[in-house]
Amino acid sequence: MTAIWHPLVPVYSCRLNNLFYSFISIRFFTLRRATERLHNLSAFKFLLMPTRVNPVQLLVLLCFPLLFTSCLKDECRNKFTIYQPVYKSLSSVRKEMGFTQARKMERPGKIYQYGAYLLVNELWKGIHVFDNTNPASPRKLGFINILGNVDIAIRNNVLYADSYSDLAVIPVSNWTEAKPVTFRNKVFNDGFVSWGNQTNPDSVQVIVDYVERDTIVDCATYTTWSRCPNCMVADAGGRPVFVNAAAAAPVNGVGGSMARFTMVNDYLYTVTQSELSAFQVTDPLNPVKSSTQNLGWGIETIYPFQNKLFVGSNTGMFIFDLGNPATPARQGAFSHVRSCDPVIADGFTAYVTLRSGGTMCGGTSNQMDVININNLQTPFLVKTIALQNPHGLSKDGNRLFVCDGLAGLKIFDVQDERDPKLVQTIGGLGTTYDVIAQDKIALVVSDQGIFQFDYSNLQAIKQISKINLN
């Protein structure tokens, strides 16, 4: 059994005993000092005066505190919520993947736009598909069940999705028939599933759900997990464990700035927390990994611009040249204080949002950095704009859209690319997370749903629809 435990209420025993022990000790000390003062005797003399002190009473006073020595140290116990995993074989999980009826949106993740279609990730579960031909009234088409999914990219009606540590290839020329036709096993190092020495998916177990219950744990016996100091992980078993038709011209989708997948010509580029990988998709249904390079820990996002890749990490921004698309070459970097870091670029300027929050991000910075990338080998900071808790961002023409967490969607005039001016803030959206702005429609994802705004009139930006959660 593997479980992740989260503490609720600390419980301590022996408090009453400790208080009583302290009370007895104080009373004994007071009696002794009083006797010494009254009779001007040492403790030794005091013990030799049977006529003054009852020996039985003295023996009781001397021995009584020993009854409480077991409680000199508190026995600390914590109450945890334990999430006991439910397992299935990987082969069973794969058989269940594919298009199914629409379901409630509960934990929206990343957004992706492909032509008239809007795709919204349901964290670890799959993809909601909407017909967004009319942005004022998006229509649910259904749900693509892909357990272990967080990121996607689409090119020429072929969808590429992560599924745990694997890459799934799904034709989507007909959404209702969408189903994986190819898998590339073990291509992502942080996909939260261990193949071990197995080569058959029938032998690999993956977690598909959790059963929740509370339990009491001795403080001295549990081990915390570095990414969640208030959590613990326990393993009582030996199973693998995870710790959470071509067109004339290529047709690619558009992802948000929080994406870890992106398409550039005949290549799919992906980032994990430590690696950048390139997959050649000349044969769309049979991607071939052409390279993987280690970038160090803390890699978060990837963004394509012209013949470059901009990779965001929690310590800086990396720029890669695609002169050889099979093996991106690092060309430059810009370092900043430790913080979560989505990045986009346009022309000779890159915009990087830095945010604090939790052990994953670290740091205390909440700002947007404007970076001159005229010389890709030596990018440098031009301006810093203070924000509340910025996440994803997107640029269309002279407007820069920034999701600033609970502070809402902030819109900047970037006619002067290196001197953004805040012109409007749209609040009441919950915690905004990511945005895609194109064709005068801004798609915004938050913990309250998916919002769409018409910004064809920059002086009167208006909300035209909302896809609710649940």
The continuous run of DSSP H or E covering 62 comes out as: helix 55-63
Tokens for 261?
């997948």
The two counts, helices (H) then strands (E), for the chain are 5, 35
Q: How far apart are CA 194 and CA 191, in angstroms?
A: 9
- Residue 371 CB-half CA count within 13 A: 28
Residues β-bridged to residue 343? 352
What residue numbers bound the domain in which 212 lies? 81-228
Q: Give the per-residue pLDDT at 373.
A: 94
Given a cut of 50, whether residue 227 has pLDDT beyond it is no
The answer to the question of residue 199 being in a domain is yes
The answer to the question of residue 159 being in a domain is yes
Q: How far apart are CA 467 and CA 136, in angstroms?
A: 10
The answer to the question of residue 11 being in a domain is no
Share of the chain above pLDDT 70, in %: 71
Residues β-bridged to residue 278? 269, 291
How many Å from the N-terminal Cα to the C-terminal Cα in the chain?
31
User: For 162-176, what is the mean pLDDT?
Assistant: 96
Q: Give the per-residue pLDDT at 71.
A: 52
Position 385 confidence tier, pLDDT thresholds 50, 70, 90? very high
The answer to the question of residue 152 being in a domain is yes
Place of tokens 């991000």: 361
Amino acid at 259: A
Sequential DSSP letters for 3-46: EEEEEEEEEE-SHHHHHHHHHHHHHHHHHHHHHHHHHT--HHHH
pTM of the model: 0.76
Question: Which one has a higher pLDDT value, 438 or 216?
Answer: 438
Buried b (16+ CB within 10 A) or exposed e, 28-41: eeeeeeebeeeeee
Ranked by mean pLDDT, the top range of 53-62, 133-142, 247-256 is 133-142
Amino acid at 460: A
Q: How far apart are CA 189 and CA 195, in angstroms?
A: 11
* 3-state secondary structure at position 221: helix
Sequential DSSP letters for 171-205: E-SSGGG----EEETT--TTSS---TT---GGG-E
Q: Give the per-residue pLDDT at 215.
A: 76
Q: Give the per-residue pLDDT at 319.
A: 96
The answer to the question of residue 396 being in a domain is no
- Is residue 340 a contact partner of residue 357, using CB atoms and an 8 Å limit? yes
Place of tokens 């409480």: 68
Given a cut of 60, whether residue 10 has pLDDT beyond it is no
Q: Give the per-residue pLDDT at 219.
A: 65
Q: How far apart are CA 402 and CA 141, in angstroms?
A: 29
Q: How far apart are CA 174 and CA 161, in angstroms?
A: 17
Position 7 confidence tier, pLDDT thresholds 50, 70, 90? very low
Angle at 20 between CA 16 and CA 26, to 5 degrees: 145
Q: How far apart are CA 274 and CA 75, in angstroms?
A: 41
Q: How far apart are CA 325 and CA 268, in angstroms?
A: 10
Number of Cβ atoms within 10 Å of the Cβ of 21 = 19
Beta strands in 295-376 (DSSP E): 299-305, 308-313, 316-321, 329-335, 343-346, 349-354, 367-372
Position 220 confidence tier, pLDDT thresholds 50, 70, 90? low
The answer to the question of residue 138 being in a domain is yes
The answer to the question of residue 317 being in a domain is no
Q: Give the per-residue pLDDT at 52.
A: 57
- Is residue 76 a contact partner of residue 401, using CB atoms and an 8 Å limit? no
Position 207 confidence tier, pLDDT thresholds 50, 70, 90? confident
Q: What is the pLDDT of residues 99-125, one digit of tens each?
A: 999 999 999 999 999 999 999 999 999
Question: Which one has a higher pLDDT value, 269 or 297?
Answer: 269
Q: What is the pLDDT of residues 293-350, one digit of tens each?
A: 999 888 999 999 989 999 998 888 999 999 999 999 999 999 865 566 789 998 899 9
Tokens for 223?
């081990």
The domain that holds 167 is classified in CATH as: 2.40.10.360
Q: Give the per-residue pLDDT at 234.
A: 46
Number of Cβ atoms within 10 Å of the Cβ of 138 = 22
Given a cut of 70, whether residue 76 has pLDDT beyond it is yes
- Is residue 343 a contact partner of residue 257, using CB atoms and an 8 Å limit? yes
Beta strands in 90-202 (DSSP E): 98-100, 108-114, 117-122, 126-131, 139-145, 152-155, 158-163, 166-171, 182-184
Given a cut of 60, whether residue 27 has pLDDT beyond it is no
User: For 15-20, what is the mean pLDDT?
Assistant: 39
User: For 242-248, what is the mean pLDDT?
Assistant: 32
Q: Give the per-residue pLDDT at 240.
A: 32
- What total number of domains does the chain contain? 1
Measured CA to CA in angstroms, residue 424 lies from 36, 317, 406, 421 at distances of: 80, 27, 15, 9
Average pLDDT, the chain: 81
Given a cut of 70, whether residue 201 has pLDDT beyond it is no
The answer to the question of residue 356 being in a domain is no
Q: How far apart are CA 52 and CA 308, in angstroms?
A: 95
Residues β-bridged to residue 435? 444
User: For 19-47, what is the mean pLDDT?
Assistant: 42
